[in-house]
Amino acid sequence: MIDEKTAWQAVADRDRSFDGKFVTGVLSTGIYCRPSCAARHPKRENVRFFAKAEQAEAAGLRACLRCCPNDVARDEAAVKAVVEAVRMAESSPKLDELADVTGYSPAHLQRIFKRETGLSPAAYARALRSERVKDALDGGASVTEAIYEAGYGSASSFYEDKRMGMQPSVWKNGGAGAMVRWASVETTLGPMMVAATDKGVCCLSFGEGEAELRGRFPKAELQQGGDDFQKLLGDVVAQVETPARPHNIPLDVQGTAFQEAVWQELRKIPEGETRSYADIAVAIGKPRAVRAVGSANGANHVAVLIPCHRVVRSDGAMGGYAYGLEIKQLLLEKEQG
């Protein structure tokens, strides 16, 4: 049995890596849970820790129906089986097929897989195939070869599968063949640069210009945005200046599966609120990946629209920001009214 201080910290962090190593007995409710249980945290004085579920039951406690602490080993085996099935399949298996492999219902499998990995089985399959395309391109394959090697039946199915992202030629050739339109505009936060492909915004930054944009897309065709760019530019400025209003602005960004999970979680943070790096790590199901979350945060090239400014340190301190803490503070003040 691990020491109680470590056990309580694992409960406070909802750290899934401790699931199966002990259970948390809550004397006030008469139940015992996994360390990662999503239920509201009990008071420390009402908690006892048990090395095994049998010990908790001998003390008169019953298993939590929300986190099902007795199913840890089975859940882990199910997730591993799904990962293996997805990796071995030539095309993305259907959820019903994966459920048959594990013996779980499709709905329950969906829940536990997302809880353990931060992604649904379908999203995991898409991310895996997307990364296989990138690996094949890095290895010198043509775009068409890379798409088929990754398990797509056609080029069109690859593009239909994309969640957020440029075409694979951008990954392979540093933007060769891509048209990126851009413009700089004055805002209450200072000069802001906005760049976009025909799919959506691919860069939003402060105090930067064409040289920095060229560094991000060294082989793309850069072009100053014309009249047709003004509406998108106006929408982006409105998002920055009046964050409380909804603005549905399309994005065109690409990262690893982990980075995209972090970015998606950032976009869930309500205006006027903040989260810590540890909070984000827990939310995506990787509680020990706090540093990796910080790196993913720093890899975001679309400020405000992917609101990395809403992430602060666990002690409440501002932490860093690519465009300076003054801009970060001003953004938060705008959102908090």
Residues with a known catalytic role: 33, 308
Do 151 and 90 form a contact (C-beta atoms < 8 A)? yes
DSSP string, 38-52: -SPPPPGGGEEEESS
Q: Give the count of alpha carbons within 13 A of 56, CB side only.
A: 25
H helix and E strand count, the chain: 15, 10
Do 274 and 312 form a contact (C-beta atoms < 8 A)? yes
Residue 312 phi/psi, 5° resolution?
-125, 175
Do 220 and 178 form a contact (C-beta atoms < 8 A)? yes
What does each C-alpha distance from 51 to 24, 57, 217, 300 come to in angstroms?
9, 12, 53, 41
Which stretches of the chain are DSSP H helices? 4-13, 53-58, 72-88, 95-102, 106-117, 121-138, 143-149, 155-161, 168-173, 210-216, 230-241, 257-266, 277-283, 290-298, 325-336
Task: Look at residues 283, 273, 258, 313 and name the one whose alpha carbon lies nearest to residue 38.
Answer: 283
